[in-house]
Chains A and B, each alone.
Chain A
Amino acid sequence: MALRKQHEGFEESVIPDEWFVPKVKEKDEGERVSRPSLSYWKDAWLRLRKNKLAMAGLIFLILLAIMAVIGPMISPHSVSEQNLRNQNLPPSGEYWFGTDKLGRDMFTRTWYGARISLFVGVVAALVDFVIGVLYGGVSGYKGGRTDNIMMRIIEILYGLPYLLVVILLMVVMGPGLTTIIVALSATGWIGMARIVRGQVLQIKNFEYVLASKSFGTKTTRIIRKNLLPNTMGPIIVQITLTVPSAIFSEAFLSFLGLGIQSPYTSWGMMASDGLSAIITGQWWRLVFPAFFISATMFAFNVLGDGLQDALDPRLRR
């Protein structure tokens, strides 16, 4: 109608009203959205699914978790059942993974060890996640003096003899699963904190955060809506690396004799138990636990690599 109003006064009668026909909106190809609109997570999942190695890792881990639950149930033997007449038997129909030096069934113990190892790994990773994100987030966001002091504290924790801390915890809390998880988390969160801090330091200076600030957005909202989602990629990758490294550290503690206490077991304990057995030719006592530690590490690592590629928006094709 604007056109007509402008011309009012002189050529009013030249273009009759009937000539104005509303234009029908064409179904234009150019305006069609060629890809379905995807959320960040949906897109990441689609890209992860294309990565065969990462998917193999994910499937392996799911199977492992299932076996950890049902494994000990499908075997006729129990974890601590000793049979001194069946010491060091090779794998057979009766004992699928053979037996150890006390005649205990390696198959049952392997899956029982999976429970402990996976539980230790996952819980330690969760604790690292919570402490690491909070510590690193505050350090990176506050910056300046606060950041400096918080990073020095990390340096000091790094310098403390780790075993001293572990043994102190063992004495104070008594040996057990909780103690091991606390011991692993005591220094485990440092890696996560460093990564989150580095990311936050970088992102908080980006223009969109400045824009958000200039609108008067509250700090908590900026952290929740701007900073955290953009650091989520590296954080998730770090989690997939923390789980296996916790399993690894537990194996190291077992090697020193500071791990899970008998009759319970973990992969690390079984592997260090089997070290001497390989010399006398009882390969199954080392190979089964060592294989599952390595395969789990491998699966978590390739899954982490796949996630890293999938969660990085710059690598989107």
Chain B
Amino acid sequence: MNSYFVKRVIAMFVTLWLIITLTFFLMHSIPGNPFATDRNTNEAVQKNLNSFYHLDDPLYVQYGSYLKSLVTFNLGPSIKQSAFTVNELIGRGFPVSMELGLWTLVVAVVCGILLGVVAALRHNGIIDYLAMTLAVIGISVPNFVMATLLIQQFAVNWPIFPVATWSSPMHMVLPILALASGPMAIIARLTRSSMIEVLAQDYIRTARAKGLSPAKIVFKHALRNALMPVVTLLGALAAGILTGTFVIEKIFAIPGMGKYFVESINQRDYPVIMGTTVFYSAILIIMLYLVDLAYGIIDPRIKLGKKEG
């Protein structure tokens, strides 16, 4: 177990390093530079700026010094927002995105699993069809359309929720709804199909035969096994949602970090591109690891590090 843990951590760092390396060289292979859009950049200014940010060094030198500063968790200065370092940008944006993301995940997971379980228990009944229609609608509407319609209905036509900015719990309701509808639908469908499969198995019949209450059978015996595909999905989903979503944050004017992913690439703000990528990838890799750990907790038969035959 211990040697597995060590191997796994090493593999995680290697993966992260490969992502960093690939992103670094991909990023620099795109034509254009951070100063191309500024109005009054004559050659001398451009040259000074380039040397100030070490952009005139050979690529491998830049790469080396980036890795060196990364070891001390220093992500460098932002070129476009020159008053801030990348650490500060992430430090400001991430807490907001994380708050939105956590609530979204809670809503999506709780509602999704409930819908899925109810649908599976009434397989091919009216409730099943209703729950799945609701779920499919959740997947079918693009989230920017969903967000716009929610604002139009619940903030303009019938003003019960305030929108834009991020100040009170009431501000959070609509963005959470818009963001959660898709993942909720996916979770509901996955839960339903694996739940139907599990409910048909012999050990469920045994549990019924020995007189366990339906609630205990569903939540203790069936759901635990049916959750495996959902847990698999959650890793990548959580990483994506927690680090902010560009579309929803833009439409609701939420000061999260979603915009940095897109804007930095458009502006060729190299340190910000690298910083957000490193941050997202690190969270993704940790999440995928947590998912593997969760497998073992949910299903003790799965042993980590077991050699596959």
Contacts and interface: CB of A to CB of B under 8 A. Distances in A.
A294 B19 contact: no
A173 interface: no
A159 interface: yes
Nearest to A275: B148
A198 to B, nearest CB: 9
Contacts, number: 112
A208 interface: no
B284 A294 contact: no
A163 B265 contact: yes
B144 A272 contact: yes
Interface residues of B, number: 47
Contact of A161 (B11, B16, B152, B265): B265
Interface footprint category on A = 35 or more
A130 B197 CA distance: 29
B218 interface: no
A286 B147 CA distance: 13
Contact of A156 (B15, B29, B148): B15
B215 interface: no
Contacts of A286: 145, 148
B307 to A, nearest CB: 8
Interface string B227-242: 0000000001000000
A44 interface: no
Interface in B4-61: 11, 15-16, 18-19, 22-23, 26-27, 29-31
B26 A168 contact: yes
A60 interface: no
A152 B236 CA distance: 14
Interface in B261-308: 261-262, 265-266, 273, 276-277, 280-281, 284-285, 288, 308
Given A159-B285, A160-B22, A290-B145, A168 B140 contact: no
A222 to B, nearest CB: 17
8 contacts: A155-B288, A156-B22, A159-B16, A159-B280, A171-B30, A205-B309, A252-B142, A278-B152
* 6 closest A-B pairs by CB: A297-B140, A159-B281, A159-B19, A298-B140, A294-B140, A290-B145
Interface of B: 11, 15-16, 18-19, 22-23, 26-27, 29-31, 129, 132, 136-137, 139-142, 144-145, 148-149, 152, 156, 189, 193, 197, 200, 236, 246-247, 261-262, 265-266, 273, 276-277, 280-281, 284-285, 288, 308-309
